[in-house]
Chains A and B, each alone.
Chain A
Amino acid sequence: MAIVNMTVNGRAVTADIDPRMLLVQFVRENLRLTGTHVGCDTSQCGSCVLHVDGQAVKACTVLAIQADGSSVTTIEGLSAAGGELHPMQAAFREHHGLQCGYCTPGMIMAAIDIVNRKGHALDETTIRDELEGNLCRCTGYHNIVKAVAAGAEAMGREPIRQAAE
């Protein structure tokens, strides 16, 4: 067993875990933050994307213990339950960027990471390139791309209500 300390969505957490535990298991099973999904479990699909120290990572391919000392943000950290949605979440709803919703948390965490790296004015080619690591089997991506562009712009307009990052 090994002791891990990290900050998740602004809250300090400590746990005694098996070093084998993946970060995605840790947030889902130990912290009950089940918004982060497990899709392929082989680092292809991107359903498990969350942020570690402000960077999008595939949490099925990171050990929880590797995130020791880090600050982690999951989809739950973007907006308070029942509260106002993060602009990227709002854009996905507005533009119908989801159907079954399975890939959506990963898509949104990836989208915010794109904005953090590439800014608020994103063209379609950039968005499609940057979503390389996130698979969606329902939408055909079209509305996701629209949602990301709109969400990026909205994040630039609003005085950033930075989530617990």
Chain B
Amino acid sequence: MYAFTYHKPSSVRQAAAMLAKNEDAKLLAGGHTLLPTMKQRLASPSALIDLGAMPELKGIERKGRSVVIGAMTRHGEVAESAVVREAIPGLAELAELIGDPHVRHRGTIGGSVANNDPSADYPAALLALDATVITNKRKIAADEFFQGLFVTALEEGEIVTKVSFPVAQKAAYAKFRNPASRYALAGVFVAKRGSDVRVAVTGASENGVFRWTAAEEALKARFTAKSLEGMAPSPDGMIGDIHADSAYRAHLVGVMARRAVQAATSR
């Protein structure tokens, strides 16, 4: 790791002011992506601004028809939250599939969303549930927020403060894990609200998380795993690497989508 200065502001406003003053500063949430990157010297921020001391970024709340989760809420807290289990059980189940228990004690939803790793789990939930990312400056719909590999709508100095998930009638996540890294080789989140159905896929595409619209249309006709029988997205543009080639990944997306619908319809 290269040297940096460390700051632990007590409010989002202070953190934003520090970011504005210091061009190469970076926010530090759970550190479970940023610190490994810094250890490999792939990132060398001159300053780290730790978001760990702000009660305003923590906690899970039911607000009307939505569940609102603070950016610094750890994956483990989401997995165990009675509020989330009750309102959107599929979201708690997704959080429980991230990494391992130790990773879940540190990693945060804000960090995961801001990082937008193409194999991360949360982006699929945000996109399928039509969530809103709330920052210190504005509200951003998930459809606009995720913009490709590690790219988001966040501007310089913008801080994610909360994520708001509208409650769905039916929702579930199915993930095929890489057995070594535990990241998704393919992960599919399906959600049904009224007549609207959204299917979001992570881990598979070279462009990061995406909506599989053909599956959405098929499920709007009838929300059952049978509607997706034989379906898979095109292997064009799917990730192909030593873990799985693009045709296999496309196949896995179909399988995971059917499993997710199965799980959503059987609770």
Report which A residues bind B (CB closer than 8 A).
Answer: 2, 18-20, 41-43, 46, 49, 55-58, 61-63, 65-66, 68, 110, 113-114, 117, 130, 132-134
Contact = CB atoms under 8 A, between A and B. Distances in A.
Nearest to A106: B102
B4 interface: yes
A46 B182 CA distance: 14
B101 A19 contact: no
B106 A57 contact: yes
A110 B102 contact: yes
Given A2-B6, A19-B6, A49-B102, A66 B52 contact: yes
Contact of A61 (B4, B6, B48, B106): B106
A68 B7 CA distance: 12
A41 B6 CA distance: 22
Contacts of A41: 39
A17 to B, nearest CB: 10
B221 interface: no
Most chain A beta-carbon neighbours within 10 Å: one of B6, B48, B76: B6
A161 B36 CA distance: 36
A117 B4 CA distance: 36
A49 B103 CA distance: 11
Interface of B: 1, 3-6, 8, 28, 31-32, 35-36, 39, 48, 50, 52, 76, 80, 99-103, 105-106, 182
B10 to A, nearest CB: 13
Contacts of B52: 66
B102 A46 contact: yes
Contacts of A42: 36, 39
Most chain B beta-carbon neighbours within 10 Å: one of A41, A43, A49: A43
B102 A133 contact: yes
B101 A114 contact: yes
